[in-house]
Structures are given as structure tokens and as C-alpha cells.
Chains A and B, each alone.
Chain A
Amino acid sequence: AQTVTQSQPEMSVQEAETVTLSCTYDTSESDYYLFWYKQPPSRQMILVIRQEAYKQQNATENRFSVNFQKAAKSFSLKISDSQLGDAAMYFCAYSPDLQGAQKLVFGQGTRLTINP
């Protein structure tokens, strides 16, 4: 069974500094998708970044980037120049590349606090 593990329940960082959130996953598939979602206090789920497993290049979206290590099954999120609006719960998620697959497996989440 596929599993996603976020080993850091809580993280904090000073405003304008860089923080890295960890995520590991377990799968026997070779093709799949990985995601980071942000959940602010409003409880909405907002997609931050997406990575296709067949792509070697790490995905980047403005201040957000990932370090995708396929062999190690690791998918960390780096937030640069942290802003107060980045404070939220962050979820790592995995989706297999299977015909008709609808599965999206989430990690337990990491609560990120930004200190002014």
C-alpha cells in the first residue's frame, strides 16, 4: 500500500528566511505524481506545487521549490523568503499513474509558523 509520511508535525521560521518541509513516500510504482498542498486557517486546500515522477528536473513555483529524490522516495518543499501569509498546514500527497486511478494519498501534515 502506498503511504506518505511527514515526520515534522510542526515547523517555525523567521520571516524572510528559508524553510524546508520533509516528505517521504512508499510505492512500488515507477510513474506517479507528487503534490504539496497548503491549508491556511480558512481550511481551503490550495495546490502549491506538483511534480511528475518521470521528470528529473525539480518543480519550481516562484518562492516554492521541491527537492525530488526518486531513489530515496523523498519529496521536500523549500520555501524561500518566508512571508507571514505562508503560515498554514502543509500536506504532501501522492497519486499513482494508473489507468483510471483516482487515488490521492495524503501525509499527516506539517504546521508551519512564521515568526515576524
Chain B
Amino acid sequence: EAQVTQNPRYLITVTGKKLTVTCSQNMNHEYMSWYRQDPGLGLRQIYYSMNVEVTDKGDVPEGYKVSRKEKRNFPLILESPSPNQTSLYFCASRYGRWETQYFGPGTRLLVL
């Protein structure tokens, strides 16, 4: 089954404790992105990647890092999480520039 998977689905952590949210897709997609969703703001793009070792900032990259060492994986790294990073995070992938994005199930993060 074609899908985008994210882990963990739920995470409670404390300020400053480094964490990684994994994202993996099994569709051989070149393009992958990370978004965060906050009430009243919709989804905002954090980072995106056009292929292995090619990443760039989206609209809200501060406090986040990403890496794309393999085509299928695109982890989101929070080096020193802060409470304002409490949010719902989505990973997404697509094959080509104009193809439909497939979203993962979301990761709900709470930073205390």
C-alpha cells in the first residue's frame, strides 16, 4: 500500500530535549515536505526537499533541521524544542512538481 508514515504519532517532551520525528514514504517520490498546523493558521511549510541531499527552507524553518540522506526518508529534527513548537506536524511527499501531495497521518507534539 502506497503511504507516508510518521513516527511517533504522539509525543510529550520537555523544553531543550532534542527529538526527531521520522517520515518515510514507499512511493519512490522525489519531493518531500514538512508542515506544521496550528489553530487559525492552517498549515505552514517548514522545510522541503527536492531529492537526496537537496533541502531548502519553507515559511517557518526557525528551530528545525532536516536531512535527506535517502530518497524514502525525511526526518524532522528539533535540536532544542521550545513550547512554541507545540503543534501538529505533517510530512508529505509527491512524485513530480505538479503531482498530488500525499500526507502522512500527523504527529502531535507537546513541549512542556
Contacts and interface: CB of A to CB of B under 8 A. Distances in A.
Interface of A: 4, 6, 33, 37, 42-47, 50, 52, 91, 93, 95, 97, 100-109
Contacts of A93: 43
Nearest to A6: B42
Contact of B105 (A37, A44, A97, A104): A44
A101 B106 CA distance: 23
Interface in B40-85: 40-45, 48, 50, 56, 58
B33 interface: yes
A91 B42 contact: yes
Interface residues of B, number: 24
A106 B103 contact: no
Given A108-B40, A108-B42, A101 B101 contact: no
A106 B35 CA distance: 10
Contacts, number: 55
Contact of B50 (A91, A97, A100, A105): A100
A106 B103 CA distance: 14
Given A45-B103, A104-B33, 12 more contacts: A6-B42, A33-B98, A43-B88, A44-B103, A47-B100, A52-B98, A101-B97, A102-B33, A102-B45, A102-B56, A103-B45, A108-B40
B35 to A, nearest CB: 8
A105 B58 CA distance: 10
B68 to A, nearest CB: 12
B97 A100 contact: yes
B48 A45 contact: no
Contact of B106 (A4, A43, A107): A43
